[in-house]
Structure 1
């Protein structure tokens, strides 16, 4: 769920078949080490483990030449395997002595244009009007507006000048990297790593810098606050290239790194428009939660409301990953925001501000306003960091706190889940 530099959302094409890299993702049972399985079952001779790298930050340039890349904290590997090796791994699934849980193709994540802001805003307001029994011709004005003190999104989540700001909490934003020279982040605690072959952590796209700004940014050069957890420690993981696309290997490497470094919150404004759950994220989400790391992901921008409500794509449709939909400043569902799928895991869990969101952007532009569930997600991540700092809660307890403290909306739960994320008056 990526937005372009001119405010139009970009996502994987709706309803498309999954595209693959030719590699495979191998998921091990709980407690199993993937490395010996790859050597003993598949006969692989070159296996790189995240534990071979400082802070478990896999160097994709060196590890990319290996037959297998192991993400030790998650118990998951990505392999470059010949047909015989793939067959051996698949044959081991279900064998209690072989320790292989699932073998699936590695997916590719693309970005393509989606509806622009003005269309989405109009459709969202009309949808809200219909639900409230009003004449769509008499559209309500925005409930919140950007002000000199703060963005409309911060006002919508209950932010106040004296709100806590997530001090002591590590927040990982896995995206297109970060503008490491952006003046608004001078003096901040920032750890940046790239998990994209041939590219450093510097953001050559803009999307990552924007998401980091909403989650953990501070105040603009004109005094407008735009970041929720402005005192949190930032872990900027580049898992999507400057083109705005990436694969499972980089994303899983980023999650593994964030979990190994005890990031309480992992924000992922990325995905593929694939309605089926992707097994690696079903497992990675659960194992991250068990380690105290809450993964928050964009629900998706594949809707075209009111006719097509879309669906929550991977990885947000995994049961242990929190899926975030988008609302606009009138607290209507954004036209592009995906709706819950039936069954376990495909639900929208919460909503966040996601239309015309002002935040940081790579220099020299410095700031930009764009739309998408990508923008709603870091708002939720910032709120999670604030609650984590104040309550000490992690994992499932932190998830439950966000649910409980959300603002209920006059909208279907299939679109906004428990409601709009809130910093909360109890802080």
Structure 2
């Protein structure tokens, strides 16, 4: 919707649609039941509406001219990004894990094979002779994970005096395991936007992402894996226990986060886009409104690449110009084989990179911890660092916070297409 337009009135007048408004709900927390039952919902703070419209109603809106409707798009289904399962051990250990649940071709998960392949390639490069291998070994960083994960070391978290205290961070994902022992005593607000499912995480992806962004500095079992260990946690379940969700739930989660004063929204979710495909105008409108409200949205670039042979474009919604798109690096500061690249124009760039291979973090009980791959794992590293900068400078919000993250990144000798400004760095 254009600025100043009354969404509910416009939709009713032009197309005869009777819709609910997010203003009717406490703290703008639209319920999943209302999303399903109403003819539509207007997210007042975002300037966006999601409606169940017939073809003639869509035609009326399209032909309405100056009615206030800027764009009409079909609703998408998005998925948790980054389910390459690895053993819950340090990345230096190369014993193959048991294949995870969810089997595919030949009884083995393809993402599982890819992650194990990358580990073997790194081992081969380190063991084979030749000047190139020796030079790579000398240039590559070396990490031990006795006390702190390699990702936190790489982005400078152990040396930072900031903890994210007083900063609210929303992670919109599959929910959170509220009974995880590493989070006892933490301030956690949970809300489900999935009909028929509680905010409790029945998948694992959300708990893992929350752990990386916001986990404790003193977990029950070392190493430490959380960046902003004193930030306030807002866990929005916008993806089901099967790992998928619709745009309506994502938008509802964004508005809920803004209404609750979250400085950062972390979204390790998305859908692939094709070469030359432009970004969503609906999500770009929502992201701009969020920035003006002091909230920066940080999203995973996507895992559709198969480098070096094939690089896929940054996916939806990370490809919006006003959303930070995060690529993934391994512990040798190589671009992860699956990480998408900035190929499409008009907002399809990578903005920054984070650790995204063999990332150990929290997992729902009884397992408690697990290491997995993905741009999903890189994204909460960046979101946690954003919370540290938000604590360091209470005036740094919205676009100002986004600029600080880019300006402070560690420059890498890699194409900006793949890593943007470089590797995120803690203050």
- With structure 2 as the length reference, what TM-score do the two structures score? 0.87
RMSD over aligned Cα, in angstroms? Answer: 2.2
Going from structure 1 to structure 2, the CA distance change for 1:407 and 1:162 (only over 3 Å counts) comes to closer
| CA drift at 1:222 | 2.2
Counterpart for residue 233 of structure 1: 232
Alpha-carbon distance between aligned partners in 2 of 1:157 and 1:100, rounded to the nearest angstrom: 43
2:369 aligns to what? 367
Task: Report the Cα distance in structure 2 between the residues aligned to 1:350 and 1:161, rounded to whole angstroms.
Answer: 21
Q: Is the 8 A contact 1:281 1:315 kept in 2?
A: yes
Alignment of 1:251-400 (within 5 A): 251-275=250-274, 276=277, 277-392=279-394, 393-400=396-403
Q: Relative to structure 1, is the Cα distance of residues 161 and 364 closer, same or farther in structure 2, using a 3 angstrom cutoff? A: farther
User: Could you tell me which of 137, 150, 153 is aligned with 1:140?
Assistant: 137
Number of the residue aligned with 1:32: 5
Matched residue SS, 1:171: strand
1:55 counterpart SS class: helix
Q: 1:300 to 1:244 in 2, by over 3 A?
A: same
8 Å CA contact 1:204–1:242 kept in 2: the answer is yes
Question: What's the counterpart of residue 163 of structure 2?
Answer: 165
Q: Residue in 1 aligned with 2:413?
A: 410
User: Structure 1: which 5+ residue stretches go unaligned?
Assistant: 1-27
- Picking from 48, 65, 74, the partner of 1:105 is 74
Q: C-alpha separation between the residues in 1 aligned to 2:246 and 2:118?
A: 28
CA 1:295–1:123: 2 relative to 1, 3 Å: farther
Could you tell me whether the CA contact under 8 Å between 2:79 and 2:269 is conserved in 1? Answer: no
Displacement of 1:120 in angstroms is 3.4
Distance 1:394 1:369, change over 3 A: same
| CA distance in structure 2 between the partners assigned to 1:423 and 1:344 by the alignment | 29
Residue 134 of structure 1 and its aligned partner are, at CA, apart by: 5.6
Q: Does 1:243 align with 2:239?
A: no
Contact 1:144 1:156 (8 Å CA) reproduced: no
Q: Deviations over 1:58-103 (max 9, x none)?
A: 11113311111111110111111112211111112xx22x111111
- C-alpha distance after superposition, 1:346-374 (max 9, x if no partner): 11110000000010000011100000000
In 1, Cα distance between the equivalents of 2:124 and 2:62? Answer: 50
Q: Cα distance, 1:126 vs. partner?
A: 9.0
Deviation string for 1:110-158 (max 9, x for gaps)? Answer: 4695463222345679999xxxx96359863862434222100000001
Structure 2 Cα separation of the partners of residues 127 and 250 of structure 1: 44
Query: Deviations along 1:194-240, whole A, 9 cap, x unmatched?
Result: 11111110100000000000000013212421100010001100111
Q: d(CA) in 1 for partners of 2:156 and 2:12? A: 53
Q: Distance in 1 between matches of 2:42 and 2:401?
A: 28
Is contact 2:35-2:248 (8 Å) kept?
no
Matched residue of 2:76: which SS? strand
Asked whether the 8 Å contact 1:407–1:421 carries over to 2, the reply is yes
* Residue number in structure 1 paired with 2:41: 69
Q: How many residues align?
A: 390
Task: Compare 202-211 and 49-58 and name the one that shifted more.
Answer: 49-58
Which residue of structure 1 aligns with residue 16 of structure 2?
A: 43
In the alignment, which residue of structure 1 is the partner of 2:215? 217
Per the alignment, in what secondary structure is the counterpart of residue 56 of structure 2?
helix
TM-score (norm 1): 0.87
The answer to whether the 8 A contact 1:173-1:237 is kept is yes
* Contiguous gaps of at least 5 residues in structure 2: 84-109
1:179 aligns with 2:194: no
2:404 corresponds, among 401, 405, 425, to: 401
Q: 1:126 to 1:257 in 2, by over 3 A?
A: farther
Rounded to whole Å, the distance in 2 between the matches of 1:145 and 1:184 is 23
1:154 aligns with: 152
CA contact (8 A) 1:232 1:385 kept: yes
Return the alpha-carbon distance in structure 2 between the equivalents of residues 295 and 134 of structure 1. Answer: 43
Rounded Cα–Cα distance in structure 2 between residues aligned with 1:35 and 1:200:
29
